[in-house]
Amino acid sequence: MRTWMKLGLMAAAVLGLGACTGDGEEEPIVCPQVVVFARSSTGTCESFSTSCDVPQGYLRCCGGLFGGCATGTSCVDDPSDTCAPGASADCPGICQ
């Protein structure tokens, strides 16, 4: 009986994992549960649960309390705000 249960569980795991990989034409999207800060071109920095939750066209906030940027980009001064970089911990930049 135990052998049949183990085989059944293994088959279910294989089928379940196969369903997560998509139709083979595109890579599955991975969105780790990491808080990301971003803003619209006219808004202030907002928090999002994952990078996949950030709306298209939003700029990622960085520096101070907001963390760093993704690989290949750097944190620069946000020209739309009035704070000076390095003046306080809550003065965000944008990733470019």
Q: What count of residues does the chain have?
A: 96
53: in domain: yes
24: in domain: no
Q: Which single residue is written with the structure tokens 């939750």?
A: 53
What total of structural domains would you count in the chain? 1
Query: How many Å apart are CA 28 and CA 51, to the nearest integer?
Result: 14
Q: CA-based angle 91:92:93, to the nearest 5?
A: 130
16: in domain: no
26: in domain: no
Query: How many Å apart are CA 18 and CA 80, to the nearest integer?
Result: 46
80: in domain: yes
6: in domain: no
Question: What pLDDT sits at residue 89?
Answer: 60
Question: Exposure of 16 by Cβ count < 10 A (0-12 exposed, 13-18 middle, 19+ buried)?
Answer: exposed
- Token pair for residue 76? 């620069």
Ordered mean pLDDT values, 10 residues apiece, the chain (96 residues): 48 43 69 86 86 91 80 85 68 84
23: in domain: no
Range of the domain at 70: 38-95
Question: What pLDDT sits at residue 86?
Answer: 62
